[in-house]
Amino acid sequence: MADSDDTEKKDPKADPNAPQRAHPHQKDKGKVVTTAFGEPMSGGIADIADGDDD
């Protein structure tokens, strides 16, 4: 019998309120996005990091 474990990581796509991953060529300012490692960061900082800070 399989145990249900509440500590399992949930799929971020399953939660519509979860921050989306930052993408190049897309303005993220004003949003909270995640890095490639899943850490939350400001969309404005993400825009600077990926070159979208025109």
Question: Environment class of residue 36 by beta-carbon count within 10 Å: exposed (0-12), middle (13-18) or buried (19+)?
Answer: exposed
Q: Residue 40 — pLDDT band, cuts 50, 70, 90?
A: very high
CA separation for the pair 46, 36 (Å, rounded): 11
Amino acid at 9: K
Q: What is the pLDDT of residue 42?
A: 92
Tens digits of residue pLDDT in 5-33: 555 555 555 677 788 888 788 888 888 99
pTM across the whole model? 0.59
Q: What is the pLDDT of residue 51?
A: 86
